[in-house]
Homo-oligomer: A and B are copies of this chain.
Amino acid sequence: MAKKVLKFGGTSVGSIDRIVHAAKIVKKEHDRGNEVIVVVSAMAGTTNNLITHSESISKKFNKRELDVLLASGEQVASALIAGALNNLGVKSKSWMNWQIPILTEGEHTNSRIVNMKVKGINDYLSEGGVAVIPGFQGISKSGDITSIGRGGSDATAVAIAKIFDTDSCEIYTDVEGVYSSDPKKIPVAKKINKISYEEMLELSSLGTKVMQPSAVQTAMMYDIPLQVKSTFTEQKGTEITNQDNIDYTKVVTGVAYSKDDAKITLIGVEDKPGVAADIFEPLSKNEINVDMVIQNISADGKKTDLTFTIKRQDKNTAASLLKNNKKIKYETMQMNDKVSKISIVGAGMVATPGITYKMFRSLAEEKINILAISTSEIKVSVIIDEELTIRALKKLHKTFKLD
């Protein structure tokens, strides 16, 4: 007998048929004698519809009320799953966050789970009941409904796995697991059987949408093994676990890409201390996240060029902030938003020299020009011309034998 968290994402409960199907997966686990806590997202589309409603009233819709509004989505899905389980003969009950309660702190629409009471649910589980809990939400110390951000149902699942000390945390989704790259774009992309938290984090922060990064981070912090699997097939899925549990046969685990970036280059910036700080201060104050920064040593020791990347949506704001700030001096500004970021990720990289070189060489072989580079211990990212994205991804899959 094991104690399990089964989390179903929005597409896994996207219709009544799918809800009944998810309930059958839960019943199978319950029939095996396992204690099951179900965490559920809102039915696919619901959250977006509710957000559209709120935005039709105001783009700056009151955040407290936005949390009340959005929380209804998971409430619906929870009640339907619990109802479907009862209908299959499985004793089951939905538990709203205020009924547990799941306590959060932080601001509305972006809270963090800090604690929850376990006794009520544990008693219910030991009586053979299945507890169904809406993901994504909680209540604040003052008793208000809060939410933990888009995709927050993953965070709820991991927090429950931790606080209820479950044996596993299974994330049911609409893909068969984590892939070396987006299989819709790169048909040769392969499912990864095991991946470390760190690699998963890099991949998900680079655009692989399978799991919410902060949930992976929490799982890593408390060493909670996660299983990502498909609701619709019986495939094994991907295990996300500690690096120690992984036998690395490949140095590079996956290739991620994102197309949401824009590159800004300031040419002829003074090369003296404090200049970079002056440039990034107004961006930071306006909550514009700077991703990659490249500054070359200047030839004459006086002037240099500075390149950085930001989210594409921020490009106009960033440009005008720099133009209108008298402290920032440069000769010309170049902007390019037809770029994409390609990253190779692998926990084995740090111990294997030459990976970066191998990446650059294979891109060169495809005549792909690298516009900017950034590296971390388990990742190398490059900015390239957006048109060349697919070609780069395919080549890197070949180079690192991911296909």
Which one of A64-72, A175-183, A332-340, A352-360 is at the B interface? A64-72
Chain A 293-334, CB-CB to B under 8 Å as 1, else 0, gives 000000000000000000000000000000000000000000
Please tell me if A232 contacts chain B, counting CB pairs below 8 Å: no
Which one of A53-61, A236-244, A367-375, A381-389 is at the B interface? A53-61
Say whether, besides A143-B99, A145-B96, A82 and B65 are in contact (CB < 8 Å): yes
Chain B hits for A87, CB < 8 A: 57-58, 60-62
How many copies of the shown chain assemble into the complex?
A: 2
Pair B99/A83 contact, Cβ less than 8 Å: no
Q: Could you tell me the distance between the alpha carbons of A20 and B55 in the complex, rounded to whole angstroms?
A: 12
Say whether, besides A16-B56, A53-B16, A61 and B83 are in contact (CB < 8 Å): yes
Minimal Cβ-Cβ distance residue in B for A74: B72
Please tell me if A400 contacts chain B, counting CB pairs below 8 Å: no
Say whether, besides A68-B96, A96-B68, A145-B96, A57 and B84 are in contact (CB < 8 Å): yes
Please tell me if A396 contacts chain B, counting CB pairs below 8 Å: no
Please tell me if A39 contacts chain B, counting CB pairs below 8 Å: no
Q: Could you tell me the distance between the alpha carbons of A59 and B83 in the complex, rounded to whole angstroms?
A: 11
Q: Could you tell me the distance between the alpha carbons of A69 and B42 in the complex, rounded to whole angstroms?
A: 12
Identify 7 residue pairs between A and B in the complex whose beta-carbon atoms are under 8 Å apart, listed by A's number: A16-B57, A53-B80, A57-B83, A57-B87, A62-B83, A65-B82, A69-B83
